[in-house]
Amino acid sequence: MGGGGTAEPIPPWDLASLIGATLLIGTVLMVLWSPSHDLSLESESGEVQITSVDVGLLGSSDAIQIDVVPGESCSGDNATTCNIIVKIGSETFQFNESGGDATSQRSSEGPIVVSAEGVGDYTIFVSVQRQLPLEALPVILGLFLVIWGEWRKRQ
């Protein structure tokens, strides 16, 4: 150690428990967090890129889901002037002042750009439903490491 002493080595099962707990907590927090994008679109602003999504890993057919929620400026008398067009790659979805949702099935590999244009204030949620549950692999590995580490520690 720093003062010239020695320390007892850390058993591998303790490290496995710590690594497994970190994988479990981190993965659960990442899966639960779905970011939203607040947009204030002007009639002359043109197309605005919202996000880029990687789909089609290992040839899977993933679904990109878009939820559009209108803001306060799209209610009452201003509602008739609000509209938004959301583009997922080459697909186009048009929403009026009441918002809505749309789903696009994709199997192409590489990033797909999600963009929007229109008039009004909107909150847009973009989520991806994967055909292959690759997000579950860190959870399974983390759970295995925690269980093995705790089991080994108690022996």
Q: Are strands 110-129 and 62-70 parallel, antiparallel or unpaired?
A: antiparallel
Low-confidence stretches of the chain (pLDDT beneath 70): 1-2, 34-39, 42-44, 56, 58-59, 76-80, 108-109
Q: Say if 145 falls within a structural domain.
A: yes
Q: Say if 24 falls within a structural domain.
A: yes
Q: Say if 96 falls within a structural domain.
A: yes
Q: What is the pLDDT of residues 83-118, one digit of tens each?
A: 888 888 888 888 877 777 777 777 766 788 888 888
Claim: this prediction has a pTM higher than 0.75: no
Report the SS3 class of residue 60: coil
pLDDT at res. 142: 92
Q: Say if 2 falls within a structural domain.
A: no
Q: Say if 6 falls within a structural domain.
A: no
Work out the burial of residue 145: count CB atoms within 10 Å of its CB; fewer than 13 is exposed, 13-18 middle, 19 or more buried.
buried
pLDDT at res. 151: 93
pLDDT at res. 43: 64
pLDDT at res. 59: 66
pLDDT at res. 105: 76
pLDDT at res. 35: 66
- CATH number of the domain that 51 lies in? 2.60.120
Name residue 113's amino acid: V
- Token pair of 55 as six digits: 């789909």
Q: Domain limits at 135?
A: 12-153
Please state the domain count of the chain.
1
Q: Say if 113 falls within a structural domain.
A: yes
